[in-house]
Structure 1
Amino acid sequence: MHMQIKPFSQADLEEASVLLARRHQEDCAREPMLPERYSNPSEARVALEKAWEASTIDGVSAGGVMARHDGKLIGYLIGTPKIDEVWGRSVWVEYAGHAIDRAYGAELYRDLYAALSPTWVALGCLYHVANLPASDQEAIEAWFNLSFGKEQVYALRETAPASAFDFPVDPTLEVRRATPADIDLASELDDVLPEHQAQSPVYSVLIPYDREESRQDTLEELANPEWKTWLAVRDGHCAGIQIYLPARPPRGIGEMIVPERCSFLGFAATRQDERGRGVGRALTARGLAEDHASGYTYCLTDWRATNLLSSRFWSHRGWRPVAYRLTRRLDERILKDR
């Protein structure tokens, strides 16, 4: 096999778009909820060009590489730098930022990463992120063999009419849509999810935030007719909350997993002393049924793979993984000799 790995360039976009479209076509065959339009190379190119343009931000380039076999493009990998207070110094392989000719095997991803990652390390970016289709087990295994692990799960399910959710609801629990007058109730659980995820086994970092600014954002959301905030109220207190809104492309993933007429379950929390009492189940049934009545066919959500409660709850509620965010963090001591 005569293979060469070289820097990716603008001239490679057309051939790479064909690879990405073929990858998406195969992913759609495994998961019919995915939007089929990206199986068209012209549509795939739009997503790919966004990833390529993002590979250089504020003069910082994470670059890209491509592999050719006897002149034929068989794979590419593009990095996007993200240097901020949330992610630190990181490089992301976006969902559209990679594809291979599967006839050559997913092992090719390891060669592409080996060729490109020194550029990231030279930038001091030791947190590496790769966003992959959940259905491509061979690709996932290849990235696992590069010491990446599963961090975030993106999942879809169909909405359904209220009649599909036939289970008893505790009569002491009131489930209703919040209005701006409910600002105090809607803010009661602001810290529940981040504090839960700061604990074992997630160990997510708690990032300070401006509470007054957050309150104003919540007021705007409650007044927005496209945002539906559902509250579960018991004894005058918020037992649980879920927020549904029109779907938007997730960071690092983009539009390739977002079907038409899709909503997004953007936030969900249940008070610790209310867990196991049907609060989340009642809120989910109401949220999905109301979205169905509003014309949404699908609902997208995401969760940390290490969040045991979320991983089990959303899977049991019918959400199916369509994409994963995989991560690898290198030891900063490797920079000392460079």
Structure 2
Amino acid sequence: MTFAIAPMSAEHIPEAAALYDRWSGHSRKGRPPGAPTGEEVLGGLLAEPDTEAYFARDSGGRPAGYLAASPLDLAEDTPAALRSHPRSAVVRHGGHAPAPGQRDNAALLALYTAAAARLVAQRRLVHYVELPASGTAAMDWCQLGFGFEEMYGLMAVKPRGRQPRGVDGLSIRRAGPGDLPQIGRMAAESARYQRQSAMFLPQSDAALAAMRTRYTDTLSDPRCAAWIAGRGGEEIGMVLLAPSPAGPVTPDGCVELAEAYVEPSARGEGVSRILLATAVAWAYDHEYRHIGARWHSASPLAAGHWPAVGFRVAAYRLSRVLDPRIRPGHASGQFAGQVQGQDRAPLGT
């Protein structure tokens, strides 16, 4: 099947929003409460500078899908660069949707071909895609060379029920601004762990140093909360919560598990479960009804732990890393400089 691929503009938003609303509603069995509409999502994506966005029509002129890839440029010494490549691109939640009833990923392949040519010509060789937890959608991207990298889970916040078994000698106290050194140290150690197998995420020393002060404002914000677990006069763990705005996969009234850490010598004793139970109780009392958490799919600790304590996977982030031996200008061709007869600006290298 052939498709007419054109740069996506504001005039495509109504048709693209209809595709998104139908596809996302089906893949998630309903939009989360408070989530933005398709038109709101797409309007925000197209407003981002330098977004590579394309719209596809089939041979009969019917909408077949769209794709919007946003550039990601991060300073290497910032905490954000600890989980994403500093020069990459991301198809955010809502950044793509196929037409209903498509039996293969032909339209997605045509759209990604157009976007990827531009991204590679800009030397953006790491591509991410965010998806709701749908096996069908993920498989379409896996067929294009993407693999699972990160999970996003949600857990309902309920009234206090059965509490985890206690840990001998453990104390839990609320953290405040004066605890920034302890919170920062453990946040940096948590990030540093991701250098290990099987994650192998580059964690620069400068970015790890920035983690030590990342939560300066958070610890003073009444909407946020953190706790430190201690034993024998030493801090052995912590958890930190911060509110998360409603989005395509995040319901209204959600707080995110921004950080969670237990010292290696104390793991396996139940410290994490006690910290989480403390956080859940606070979240319920402050009218949060969901807790979100992110973890690397290849983490030997997190990949099994968070689902085991009650987080259900709601979304994925997939990634594709292209061979850096690709030559500048390698992506030249139909989609690099011209899309269906519509001129584009010359590509940088």
Partner AA of 1:289 in structure 2 = A
Matches of 2:154 and 2:207 in 1, distance apart? 32
Structure 2 equivalent of residue 115 of structure 1: 114
Q: Among 177, 197, 206, which residue is 1:200 paired with?
A: 197
Q: Is 1:189 the equivalent of 2:186?
A: yes
Where in structure 2 are there 5+ consecutive unaligned residues? 331-349
Q: Aligned AA for 2:54?
A: V
Question: TM-score of the superposition, structure 2-length normalised?
Answer: 0.85
Q: Which amino acid aligns with 1:335?
A: R
Describe the shift of the 1:143–1:248 C-alpha distance in structure 2 as closer, same or farther (beyond 3 A).
same
Q: Are 1:128 and 2:127 matched, yes or no? A: yes
In the alignment, is residue 63 of structure 1 matched against residue 52 of structure 2? yes
Corresponding residue to 1:228 among 201, 206, 225: 225
Alignment correspondent of 1:160: 158
Unpaired runs of 5+ in structure 1? 250-254
Of the structure 1 ranges 118-127 and 101-110, higher mean CA displacement relative to structure 2 is found in 101-110
Report the CA distance between 1:208 and its aligned residue. Answer: 2.6
Letter aligned with residue 221 of structure 1: T
> Which position in structure 1 is the counterpart of 2:46?
52
Match of 2:97 in 1: 99
Displacement after TM superposition at 1:2 (Å): 6.0
**After TM superposition, which residue ranges in structure 1, 4 or more long, deviate above 6 angstroms?**
210-213
Whole-Å separation in 2 of the counterparts to 1:203 and 1:213: 20
Aligned to 2:325: 333
- Residue 4 of structure 1, CA deviation: 2.1
Shift of 1:272: 0.5
Q: Which residue of 2 aligns with 1:268?
A: 260
Which residue of the partner structure matches residue 16 of structure 1? Answer: 16
CA RMSD of aligned residues (A): 2.2
Displacement after TM superposition at 1:7 (Å): 2.2
**Residue 179 of structure 1 contacts residue 223 of structure 1 at CA under 8 Å; is this kept in 2?**
yes
How many residue pairs end up in the alignment? 320
Question: Do the aligned partners of residues 106 and 34 (structure 1) sit closer, same or farther apart at CA in structure 2, a change above 3 Å counting?
Answer: farther
**Which residue of structure 1 aligns with residue 297 of structure 2?**
305
Bigger fraction of residues in helix? 1
TM-score (norm 1): 0.88
Match in the other structure for 2:4: 4
> SS at the partner of 2:301?
helix
Residue 78 (structure 1) aligns with: 68
Partner of 2:88: 90
What residue is the counterpart of 2:175 in the other structure? 178
SS at match of 2:217: helix
Q: Cα 1:77–1:337, aligned 2, differ >3 Å: closer, same or farther?
A: closer
Q: Residues 217 and 326 (structure 1 numbering): CA distance in 2 closer, same or farther, change over 3 Å?
A: closer
Secondary structure (helix, strand or coil) at the match of 2:201 reads coil
Give % identity: 28
Structure 1 residues 286-295 or 176-185, which shifts more?
A: 176-185
